[in-house]
Every structure is written in C-alpha cells, then in structure tokens.
Amino acid sequence: MSIIGYLLIIIGAFFYFLGGLGMFRMPDVYNRLQAGTKATTLGSFSTLLGVGLVNPAFLGKALLIIAFIALTNPVGSSVLARAAYLKGVKPTSKTVVDEYADEATKKAGEEQ
C-alpha cells in the first residue's frame, strides 16, 4: 500500500514539474493558465492520494481536500482568465479565432 502511495507522490511531483515547465514555455496568460490548472490538479490529486495511502489516518482528509480542489481550482482559473481578458491582456499572435471579443467590448461599455 505504501509503495503505491510513494509512486503516486512521485507521479504528482512529475506533474507539478510539468505545470511549472508549462508556465515557462507557453506564450500567453491563457495558455499558461491551461497548463497551470491542468497539471497542478492531477499533481495535487495524486500527491494527496499518495499521502493518504502511506498514512491511512489521513485518507479521509485527503479525499475531502481533493474534493475542494476539484471545486475551486477551475473556478479560480476561469476567473483569472476572464479578468485578464477584460483588463485587456492581449492573447498570443498565434490565436486563430476570438469570439469573446464582442462580448468583452460590450461589458467594457457597460462598466463605463
């Protein structure tokens, strides 16, 4: 059981590393958020689950923390991305389509 736990912790650490690398390599805020959100969710999940398996007394808490991360992490990154867009942070020049532009200018108009 504890071997599986340690394995999960190693996998988690690897995904954290990928999240960091993604932050570094991606060209703009939105793509960085993509890398950051995804890599860190599986990273946290498997690290916490690993800790829970190594030390079974912690398992219940670990599952609860996982549930809260699953609920809050996506909301946080959506809000960050939305705020960045409405504040006028330009997406990378590689961007193919932008169907949010109209909506965002409408919102900016309402606020003024």
Partner 1 sequence: MFFSVFIVTFFTWLILTNSLEPSEVVIGLIVSIVVSTTFTRYYSIKFDWKLPVRILRFVFIYLPVFIWEMIKANLDVAVRVLNPSLPLNPGFVKVKTSLKGKNSKLALANSITLTPGTLTLDVKDEELYIHWVDVKATSEEQKQKHITTKFEKILKKIFE
Interacting residues with partner 1 (CB under 8 A): 15, 18, 21-22, 25-28, 30-31, 33-35, 37-39, 41-42, 45, 60-61, 64, 70-71, 73-75, 77-78, 81-82, 85, 91-92, 94-101, 103
Number of neighbours of residue 12 by Cβ within 10 angstroms = 21
Amino acid at 72: T
Q: Which string of b and e fits 75-111 if b means at least 16 CB within 10 Å?
A: eebeebbeebbeeeeebeeeeeeeeeeeeeeeeeeee
d(CA 94, CA 81): 17
Q: Which is nearer to partner 1, 39 or 48 (CB)?
A: 39
Amino acid at 61: K
Q: Which is nearer to partner 1, 26 or 54 (CB)?
A: 26
Q: Which is nearer to partner 1, 1 or 96 (CB)?
A: 96
Q: How far is the CB of 59 from partner 1 (least distance, A)?
A: 11
Q: Which is nearer to partner 1, 22 or 50 (CB)?
A: 22
